[in-house]
Structure 1
């Protein structure tokens, strides 16, 4: 991978390549790195240590955060990308669950079909109760429009269920409004009927969510409902519930593998005329240059009225940068019309806005690991 300096970092890069202006750039030094986006020329923009550089990524995609070791300096510094050390038991658990996991959209479509089944009242009472509890675990758009509401939705997304139960001051009973808790109740009842069918995810197994980065998920096509036997629909529901549970467990396992805290959170929403999925990527970051600490928040959402929308917020208090992307031009215009009000609200909160932009088109995912060497040129 050939890395060229951006114009903003050219002077710093020259000193770093010579080993004089940046003490951290020494042979054997380990530097933090992360992708920042894609340049107009199609090159990947990376932050490596305190430098911003452009990279021609020929060997694959990169994770959201990684580390490199300086192998050589001079006019063409050579950087080795370091592989994270992962517990073998954790790797084994990931390998078992990755082929089983699937997104929430198929499950939400199946739940819609079950809810519209004309003979719904003929289902056993305990199964109807479990379905009702799962419906209650869905959040509404109004629930996540406030800071406290979003915090509760994240806490009850299923990712932190075991942590809540392990809290000595918490309830020893499964919380009814937790998404994973509701899925576990329903899965236990469906398991009594029949063994869950194998997941149908195609020939390739998708990597964990954190390695892919935020991706907007559209609604699945609605399923036809008839007066026929409900057994096939419940079998489908059984498979979708087990796939959703595997997806949560993959996200839980993956959240502890990085050098810094990072989570990929999915929140199912009861939208207008259907159900949607809000995806959040929350990362704690330490800037290698000045040691500053902060948070990165990425999100992705695909609504029928707006199309796919993604965003990234970088908070280094009191400074904030906001970048948005939308797949449709009319959505870009709608979002930009809200910029003035957003600037005013952020200023009232004491935040200094460094950047606020919205681009047409979605960013290329930059989360997949790549075991390549990074070769840098001045």
Structure 2
């Protein structure tokens, strides 16, 4: 599946994510990642900056992943040992770096300068959850309580427990039996409308619907059916049929205990309520599945997206991680979906949608959004 390529990559996966923080330490995992990714703290970040490596970090609910790629395959071989050496400096220098990282993370939590789409995604996540939504970045109060010693102690105890995945030129991900664990139906779904005012920008709206978890891998194919570009259902509905939007996205979520699918649109503020209705209706058309022509287009876009990712600097090492943790590899995933000549219908759960809107809304616009939400419930 993967061609011989130059360079080499290492993926270091720490076994703790933002949901391991606890309420009093919210934001700890994100702040620790900032320390480990700052060249001022030495370690792999400094080596990567000096050597010109490509780096990537992903913070998930239960893991913190650091990826390193270098044109010389031997380069990242020391990444794990380097990461273990990172530390905030002692004394005033360490406190100064920590103050800087706290300030950056606090500004992001407050959404200062956050793109409207990032704000929208945060709002629709809050609208979807029945339990209080804790920002992975924590709060200014919880961040202020984290000390240099706390973070350096975490590096000493957590990084040695990391799992390391690596590739090299010509690495081939061999398929093994078994798929990732199936997800349960939504058990912590809230369903609500969240609105945030943001002046001097277009309006953005989102709708997310809970679903009975379909066969493994089918939700991403349904996202391609909606389409993040031309030839998808969102483009036809929002642009051609209703003349509302040029910008739109589709996404799916599969967390422990819940699955959902959603879409966003960028519109004029006066069109936000109408766009909310159109998004909900378009999502619910997935209950009817898709015929052969739409299915072929969705397969083509889905396959291209996966193969492009596999050709990236971390494509092979990401696939090796999937195999190691029991998730389907790209080959397994595409093979499993190839059997669908027609996409089966999606089963929606009888819960209210999660909806969100960000923009320069007047009181009238907000009333219109509230009425539209009641209609799509």
TM bracket (short chain): under 0.3
Q: TM-score, normalised by structure 1?
A: 0.23
Greater strand content: 1
Q: TM-score, normalised by structure 2?
A: 0.23
